[in-house]
Structure 1
Amino acid sequence: MRRLALILCLVAAPLAAQDAGDKARAAAEALEAASVLLDTADEAQDRVAALTDTVRAYEDGLTAMREGLRAATIRETELSRKLSAQEAEVARLLGALMAVGDRAAPRTLVHPGGPLDAARSGMLVAALTPGLAAQAAELRADLEEVTALRALQQNAANTLQEGLSGVQAARTALSQAIADRTDLPRRFTEDPIRTELLITSTETLQGFASGLAKITEDETGPPLPPITDRKGSLPLPVRGVVLHGAGDRDAAGVARPGVVIATRPGALVTTPSAATIRYAGPLLDYGLVVILEPQANLMFVLAGLDTVFGEAGQVLAAGAPVGLMGGPAGNNMSPSGEGAGGDRSETLYIEVREGDVPEDPLRWFTTDKG
């Protein structure tokens, strides 16, 4: 009902308000579609894939809703400031309209100087009236737009809250579906003792990544097809914006060979292509880490997750979920930081390694979506 109210509010709004709310309308429809996906995910043959699509749909819908809400907020603020600055002019306009209004008595236009002066006064009033009417119409349009925008913001905020509840339910269902999954192929079985020894004996990510390939045994099945021909066109593992490029120094003054992506709390992290999980768990000072091997001698390192899915040795399809970002869900509510990264409070570190050599991840991934 709230999404319907939002759409009806947009349809009835003045044209400028409708322009400011176009994204909100599209977002309301996207969130409605996401809720339908969530309702039907239990019946899907592949629940994990269906719920992954559902979470992504919610994330895209919520992003569009924030952008639409922010546009409406900015427009409403501009109009409110304009009207506030015109208070004196508005008062004079209202006084003039009352003086020549329909309810004014005929003697109002009678001039004490006689018929000639009365005629001149009438001509003057006739010349001024269209201008006064135009100002009144402009003022009325501004007031109607402010009213429509405020109603839009209220309905959009309600829809946004519903979407946040929906995406949280979808994430919970996805986590359970992954826990119940038993049909993933494996390329090798991890030796936890050797992995733990490698963790304790290495002090750098480079050293750990280099040692991973040497501690696996009994690899089965053909290797995954190479993805070199897709270099530069792979999707980022998470919805976000680049905060630091390869080699840039962070707030602590540390320069790393990977990139830092600013994401929203709870954002879904997926594998950019079919890949084998080489490692999933805590590592050094990187927090929870997933290391993917899409082809021989190529590794994608994803660090800073709050939750990781899967186990070392499992083979994942492209777009399969590998984890979730952390952070309080309430950070998702504010539209004011949209575009400035203010609500993207989590960071995912991505590193690409070919053999023992790090490579700029932006040579592999597209970053045209924020």
Structure 2
Amino acid sequence: MKRRTRYAGLAFALWAGAASAQDQADAARQAARALEDASVQLDRADSSRDRVRALTRTVQAYEAGLAAMRDGLREAAIRETELSRKLQSQEAEIARLLGVLSSMGGKAAPSAMLHPQGPVGAARAGMMLASVTPGLAAEARRLQGDLTEVTNLRTLQQSAAETLREGLSGVQRARTELSQAIADRTDLPMRFTEDPVRAAILISSTETLEGFASGLSEIAGDEKLNNLPPIDDRKGALELPVQGQILRRAGEADAAGVARPGIVIAAQPEALVTTPTAATVRYAGPLLDYGLVTILEPQPDLLFVLAGLQVIYGEAGQVLPEGSPVGLMGGGYDGDNPSPSVEGAGAGRTETLYIEVRQGDGPVDPLTWFAGR
């Protein structure tokens, strides 16, 4: 119950800390509800598998809420910068406006104005002043509105930054608990046992991902038949393994001019990576220049390659349920400065996950299987 109270308290904080933009506020509310639901499931978890599932949803809810907060803070900071620059560029105009309003005093009635040409001149001057005064007052109200908005935006950012720090601390605790729960899990079915000698030989003898993938069957011993349901009816609708945005599509060259058949997803540091469907882990470990790699087989002749992980969960031969964690992205946030950068385009630091789909004897565009967003 103590754990549920801790998570539930931060659920409201994540929602309340989101900036005023409607989309971000709605996303934060949804994440807060998901966090509360996950905490309830965690309290009810009886098995290690249930505990892993509940903690996975807890981490994902935290990540969604924090992403909404970062987006809202970024928009608030950009808006504040725009208003501040606008006010700075109008300093001379503001000074003149204040001077005029000050000389007019609290009441700028035409009868209060004297004119050397007598009553006719005073009447004409009064008519001119009467036509100008509403414009001056409207300009003063507009400037006051801009100044008030700047003040409110600064207050929002200061309060939300503290909530962001609390959220980052909470998601770190949830990740730690998740890692421990995965280590304690013993109830996953095993489809085969990896032969470490054959695996080492395969890794050392291949120079491409294609060559390695074609030899995966050689490292499996005592392999059982695949009894997972086919997923052809879900083609094009699978969720991406990590929360993020598509940075490069299949065949697009990177900064070095290298084009690969997979897609690259920009994700937040230490983001959780999950399997989009039930699948067998065909390989988990370092591979070539891809870093840590997990290769999943949801059905025969179909492989999902997830590369660029900092931490990997699971081992070759395990059959994972849909939504199971398979690893974490790299990176990490500065505890003293967790807020996103707003300089220029306002982009925060990200990590990249490479996703390649191999069907039959070659690669296919991953977006034929995943719902790109």
TM-score grouping bracket, smaller chain normalisation: 0.7 to 0.9
Q: How does 1:18-57 map to 2 (within 5 A)?
A: 21-23=21-23, 25-26=25-26, 29=29, 32-33=32-33, 36=36, 40=40, 42-45=42-45, 46-57=50-61
- Aligned partner of 2:322: which letter? A
Number of the residue aligned with 2:340: 334
Q: C-alpha deviations, 1:168-221, integer Å up to 9, x for none?
A: 121111111111111111111222222222222222222221111133232236
Q: TM-score, normalised by structure 2?
A: 0.86
CA distance, structure 1, for counterparts of residue 253 and residue 108 of structure 2: 73
- Letter paired with 1:86: Q
Partner of 1:351: 356
Q: After TM superposition, give the deviation of residue 337 of structure 1 in Å.
A: 7.1
For residues 240 and 339 of structure 1, the distance between their equivalents in structure 2, rounded to whole angstroms, comes to: 17
Q: What is the CA distance between 1:348 and its match in structure 2?
A: 1.4
SS of alignment partner, residue 82 of structure 1: helix
Q: Residue in 1 aligned with 2:252? A: 248
**Equivalence map 1:300-315=2 (5 Å):** 300-315=304-319
Where structure 1 has 5 or more consecutive residues not aligned to the other structure, the ranges are 11-17
Secondary structure of the equivalent of 1:214?
Answer: helix
Name the TM-score, length of structure 1 as normaliser: 0.86
Residue of structure 2 in register with 1:173 after alignment: 177
Residue equivalent to 2:4:
none
Choose from 208, 216, 224 the match for 1:204. 208
- Quote the Cα distance in structure 1 between the aligned partners of 2:162 and 2:31: 12
2:96 counterpart of 1:92: yes
Q: 1:144 aligns with which of 128, 142, 148?
A: 148
Quick one: which amino acid aligns to residue 261 of structure 2?
A: P
How is 1:150-169 mapped onto 2 (pairs within 5 angstroms)?
A: 150-169=154-173
Give me the whole-angstrom Cα distance separating, in 1, the residues matched to 2:183 and 2:13: 38
Q: Name the counterpart of 1:14.
A: none
Residue in 2 aligned with 1:362? 367
Could you tell me whether the CA contact under 8 Å between 2:110 and 2:126 is conserved in 1? no
Q: How far apart, CA to CA, are the structure 1 residues paired with 2:10 and 2:36?
A: 16
- Report the Cα distance in structure 2 between the residues aligned to 1:111 and 1:7, rounded to whole angstroms: 61
Count of residues in correspondence between the two structures: 359
Conserved? CA contact 2:74–2:346, under 8 Å: no
- Matched-pair contact (CA < 8 Å) for 2:17–2:163: no
Contact 1:27 1:62 in 2 (8 A): no
Work out whether 1:120 is the aligned partner of 2:116.
Answer: no
Q: SS state of the match for residue 262, structure 1?
A: strand
Cα RMSD for the two superposed structures: 3.0
CA–CA separation in structure 2 for the residues paired with 1:33 and 1:224 = 31
> Shift of residue 321 of structure 1?
0.6
Q: Which amino acid aligns with 1:199?
A: I
Change (3 A) 1:129 1:340: closer
Give yes or no for contact 1:6–1:28 (8 Å, CA) kept in 2: yes
Aligned-residue offset at 1:110: 2.9
Distance 1:241 1:35, change over 3 A: closer
- Does structure 1 residue 109 correspond to structure 2 residue 116? no
Gaps of 5+ in 2: 1-8
Distance in structure 1 (CA, Å) of the matches to 2:155 and 2:221: 63
Name the aligned partner's letter for residue 356 of structure 2. E
Displacement of 1:245 in angstroms is 2.4
Counterpart for residue 15 of structure 1:
none
Judging changes above 3 Å, is the alpha-carbon distance between structure 1 residues 339 and 237 closer, same or farther for their aligned structure 2 residues?
A: farther
**CA contact 2:13–2:163 (8 Å) conserved in 1:** no
2:68 counterpart (58, 64, 68): 64
> What SS class does the counterpart of residue 182 from structure 1 fall into?
coil
Which amino acid in 1 is paired with 2:58?
T
How far off is 1:32 after superposition?
4.5
Match of 1:265 in 2: 269
**Aligned mates of 1:158, 1:232 — CA distance in 2:** 39
* Alignment map for 1:267-306 (pairs within 5 Å): 267-306=271-310
Name the SS for the 1:183 alignment partner. Answer: coil
Is the partner of 1:184 in helix, strand or coil? coil
Cα deviation 1:246-266 (Å, max 9, x = unaligned): 233333333322222222210
CA contact (8 A) 1:21 1:68 kept: yes
Query: Is the 1:235–1:366 Cα contact (8 Å) retained in structure 2?
Result: yes
Contact 2:78 2:342 in 1 (8 A): no
Hey, what does 2:5 align to over in structure 1? none
User: How far apart are the structure 1 equivalents of 2:71 and 2:236?
Assistant: 28
Letter in 2 for 1:355: G
Give the aligned residue type for 1:240.
G
